Structure 1
Amino acid sequence: MKKLFLSALAVTFLSAMPPASPHRPATQSMTLSKQALQNKIKGGWAGQLIGCTFGGPTEFQYNGTMLNDYQPIPWYDGYIKHTMLNNPGLYDDIYMDLTFVDVFERKGLDAPVEEHANAYANAEYMLWHANQAGRYNILNGMKAPQSGHWLNNPHADDIDFQIEADFSGLMAPGMPNTAIQIGDPIGHIMNYGDGWYGGAYVGAMYSLAFVSTDINYIVKEALKTIPAQSTFYQCINDVIKWHAQYPNDWKRNWFEIQRKWSDEVGCPEGVFRAFDIDAKINAAYIVLGLLYGGGDFTKTLEISTRAGQDSDCNPSSAGGILGTMLGYDRIPANWKQGLKEAEDIDFKYTTMSLNDVYAMGMKHALQVIERNGGKINGDQVTIAVQTPKAVRFEQAFTGHHPVQTIHIRKNLENEFTTDFDGIGFVIRGEARPKNRISREADNSFVFNAELYVDGQKIETAKLPTDFIHRRHELFWKYQLPKGKHSIRVKLLNPDPEHIVSMTDLLVYSDQPVKSKL
């Protein structure tokens, strides 16, 4: 049975729906006051900010290892405001969230995915990984969902939509299927497969956090939205299984995660390296914090941060989910110290503050509730609570296994040729000013280069030297016939003030490399 939230604000449950049919999951209704609903929405957004601030200093500083207990993580009164004013770029997972919230506010709940894609692609903020690859695709004429598909985006399995999907669950209280439906087209702007599932799962957990105070239930029930044959499901299911096996030892669970799930396949920056921005392993660290935190805000943030890797985004997601479950008023005072003085500060690249988002979030949630069988009667809000159902199956990089990195380490002058044996490749590198001072330096020059594989022209690619508009990888091609292949890159417009730096060639085959140990 669900453990449903009962509070002094008089939450009431009604069996208002007809019996379930094969085409409609069983549902029940939940009625709560607008004040209680607003409290949870505020808790979700505030929890994100708190978690991101707390984990910020350790982001990708502990890759393939954990933060030991003796490693202090600072927290003090005024820390949130100080970080928002002096390190505003830390909150990329939140201001990315707000890009989509703003589109819903300006264009309505039925805004087409093109509105969201164009808003984020043309924003002034810097992006990385799946977000940047998706941005490049959108700016160069590709539409979603092709922009996030793994054949067009080597970062399709990365964490990006997972850290930005909070809005979907906060818009759909108690309606995990609706939360995923809202996020689906947006998530496919930049992700596919496990990368999309990360956002779908996080959105579902947020949604269920409105209607349950059992964190184990939230974690397990939300996973029902993910197809069991996906590697994302299998990873998170393992974390749940190991929690049952080692209920008092989160570090043993962490070691099991590391042993089984730390081999990166997609992200070219993470393959053969300790760096791992894959969605599923970072989602595993979110779940690690939630399960072993047991509803305790401090333990949850500590564990999801100390697990390492993307250790600001993971406690941000965990803190947002738990903040939704607890509600703003029940987030411990220690974690809210200095929060009030930061709630009117606009996030960088936006004209939106936390207080603005609290209000917009409430407005959008009420609209979604009414659209999906719920009712608003004065101060009372009735939600048609949904039973989670699995979404369609997607899996990226199927049959592709990284087997070799070949160092190039040279600038592309006019032409570059090389050979490899496998079924796919990625050429890493960047186009940039020859004498740049910083990556953020404004530069509008764009190289044009042709890619040939086995003598056949594959594409003519634009390689902007501006960091915001850059192509995250220079070239890639998957799903080639197994065997030896030739690569030729031809630079069409060399320029003495700019260079195309080629760093390495990542090679894929149809079988993984097997250790002899």
Structure 2
Amino acid sequence: MAFFFIADLAAAVHKGKKEVVLSEQSLRDKVKGAWAGQTLGCSYGGPTEFKFLGTIIQDYIPIPWDKHTVKNWYDTFPGLYDDVYVDLTFVEVFERCGLDAPVDSFATAFGRTEYPLWHANQVARYNLLQGVKTPQSGYWKNNPHAHCIDFQIEADFAGIMSPGMPNQAAEICDRVGHIMSYGEGWYGGVYVATMYSLAYVSNDIEYIVKEALKVIPEESDFHKCMSDVIRWHRKYPKDWKRTWFELQNKWSEEISCPEGIHNSFNIGTKINGAYILLGLLYGQGDFTKTIDIATRAGQDSDCNPASAAGILGTMIGYSNIPESWKEALYEVEDIPFSNTDISLNKAYDMTYRHASEMLQKHGNGKVGTDFIIRRENIRPVALEVAFENLKVSDKLTIEKSIDDVNPFSFEGTGLVVKGYVAGGLPTDYTAEMDVYIDGQFYETTALPQYINHRKCELFFCYDRPVGKHTVTFKWKNPVSNGKIWITEVIIYTTK
């Protein structure tokens, strides 16, 4: 019964009808499918996360799964679910402040979190705590990880609460996503949220993937990469591994995330977003195949199947997720996610309410228990380009204290300095380091010891005139036995 109802929705969209009917029961089922799919995909990919870098997880390598897998992750490594608990931070803001919650409410809530974060998220939280407001907290010149996957993995909520309203999903992404991302990093979240939104009103996964891409400017590399996946899928419709190799050949270079420079680690939004599409397109609507392919593409192999399974779970609804997967959720659905008081069951209820309110707020009618969803013409978001005309000219292993490298010389237009404050210092200590470039004061940077408030890199800048420069570091508040230790320096020049 549910399958034929979904098929009717898809037909309505494809025939160009201006309205789609979605019952309360179906809406709730799809909301549940979204959160359940995301949680299941994350759990399945957990054992392989960043263990297969620049390589496929071959079919002969088993990925364990049973009905206790999700509970085991809850108990042993709840930090696995950053895909979900960051989402829920923003869901809670909507619950508390309403659908018109301002940008500052999201930024404040995010800045106050104490759960583990990495990459763009952690730099953004650091920036907020240092007084840098959004959207500057996610802007690439203030955040070397602006192109990382962070917002792509936590934008689900924006699409889940915007059934059949892709432009509203994009607007929510604008409010929230620039807290931690810019350019490609932001586009990944917008695209994922838009696919979630369309998954409410179509059961054709190819339509969802292609139609949602209209929200991304065609000039962007992100659009070009996703378009390549769609094109290669048409060319090699039964061989996802061939498309994977084409992606590796054309789109695997990393120039932004400092941890991905000159190695096989890639947490960039483009390549991982492409792996979401591999799962969706080659999975052909099959829940198991979708999760498995998105996982076996490698790299961020828990986040990618989480996004793919969440989108597919929205399309087919919770009731159509195979029992062999759903049974793993039964013992955790009332357990709050790490560092939140929101469980899956609570997320189902809250987001169903938000989705219902969004439908009515934006002019969609309701007759009895049926929502009448008006079809939207998707509007592309603004073009954003980061790390433009930059290329990595060198990566140096240093392994020295700042006193041993002063002054440091480089030739180019910018650099990223990786390192840390060493010496077994108390967690409430914050080192302060003055930076001088070419003899002129550039900035004072704070280096908190507390891991959740840390700065991911000691220093970075991208805006020097091309040429030879000297950099000097001065520790303003040194402590005995302490050192500010430099591990690597990445040097940028122009193309």
TM more than 0.5: yes
Out of 485, 488, 494, the residue aligned to residue 504 of structure 1 is 488
| Aligned equivalent of 2:35 | 45
- What secondary structure, in the 3-state scheme, does the structure 1 residue paired with 2:331 have? helix
Distance 1:476 1:390 in 2: 32
| Aligned equivalent of 2:5 | 7
Q: How large is the Cα RMSD of the aligned pairs? A: 1.9
Q: What is the Cα deviation at residue 431 of structure 1?
A: 2.4
Q: Summarize the Cα distance change of 1:199–1:371 in structure 2 as closer, same or farther, 3 Å threshold.
A: same
Name the structure with the higher helix share: 2
Distance 1:249 1:136 in 2: 43
5+ residue gaps, structure 1, are 16-25, 437-441, 512-517
Q: What is the Cα deviation at residue 6 of structure 1?
A: 4.7
Q: Summarize the Cα distance change of 1:73–1:448 in structure 2 as closer, same or farther, 3 Å threshold.
A: same
Distance 2:417 2:50 in 1: 23
| Aligned equivalent of 1:463 | 447
The count of residues paired between Structure 1 and Structure 2 equals 492
Q: What is the Cα deviation at residue 122 of structure 1?
A: 1.3
Return 333-342 or 130-139, whichever deviates more: 333-342
Q: In structure 2, what residue type is equivalent to 1:446?
A: T
Q: What is the Cα deviation at residue 116 of structure 1?
A: 1.1
| Aligned equivalent of 2:462 | 478
Out of 267, 272, 279, the residue aligned to residue 282 of structure 1 is 272
- 8 Å CA contact 2:3–2:316 kept in 1: the answer is no
- 8 Å CA contact 1:5–1:11 kept in 2: the answer is no
Q: In structure 2, what residue type is equivalent to 1:351?
A: D
TM-score normalised to structure 2 length: 0.96
Distance 2:362 2:17 in 1: 12
Q: Any idea what the Cα deviations from partners look like across 1:158-199, whole Å, max 9, x if unmatched?
A: 000000000000010011111010111210000000000000
Q: Any idea what the Cα deviations from partners look like across 1:18-63, whole Å, max 9, x if unmatched?
A: xxxxxxxx98221121000000000000000000000001000001
Q: Any idea what the Cα deviations from partners look like across 1:253-277, whole Å, max 9, x if unmatched?
A: 0000000111001101101110000
Distance 1:415 1:468 in 2: 28
Distance 2:271 2:246 in 1: 11
Distance 2:47 2:482 in 1: 34
Out of 427, 432, 440, the residue aligned to residue 448 of structure 1 is 432
Q: What is the Cα deviation at residue 111 of structure 1?
A: 1.4
| Aligned equivalent of 1:245 | 235
Correspondence 1:487 to 2:471: yes
Q: In structure 1, what residue type is equivalent to 2:492?
A: Y
Distance 1:137 1:203 in 2: 25
Identity of aligned residues (%): 51
Distance 1:258 1:415 in 2: 37
Map residues 270-349 of structure 1 onto 2, 5 A cutoff.
Answer: 270-349=260-339
Q: What is the Cα deviation at residue 11 of structure 1?
A: 6.0
- What secondary structure, in the 3-state scheme, does the structure 1 residue paired with 2:179 have? helix
Distance 2:368 2:417 in 1: 59
Q: In structure 2, what residue type is equivalent to 1:36?
A: S
Distance 2:11 2:208 in 1: 18
| Aligned equivalent of 2:197 | 207
- 8 Å CA contact 2:153–2:189 kept in 1: the answer is yes
Distance 2:93 2:17 in 1: 30
Q: What is the Cα deviation at residue 412 of structure 1?
A: 2.9
Return 275-284 or 475-484, whichever deviates more: 475-484
Distance 1:419 1:480 in 2: 13
Map residues 103-502 of structure 1 onto 2, 5 A cutoff.
Answer: 103-413=93-403, 416-432=406-422, 434-435=423-424, 443-502=427-486
Q: What is the Cα deviation at residue 465 of structure 1?
A: 1.0
5+ residue gaps, structure 2, are none
Q: What is the Cα deviation at residue 359 of structure 1?
A: 0.3
Distance 1:316 1:103 in 2: 22
| Aligned equivalent of 2:88 | 98
Q: Any idea what the Cα deviations from partners look like across 1:450-493, whole Å, max 9, x if unmatched?
A: 11111121111111111110111111111221111111111111
Q: Summarize the Cα distance change of 1:399–1:10 in structure 2 as closer, same or farther, 3 Å threshold.
A: closer
Q: What is the Cα deviation at residue 411 of structure 1?
A: 2.3
Q: Summarize the Cα distance change of 1:92–1:120 in structure 2 as closer, same or farther, 3 Å threshold.
A: same
- What secondary structure, in the 3-state scheme, does the structure 1 residue paired with 2:285 have? coil
Distance 2:204 2:370 in 1: 24
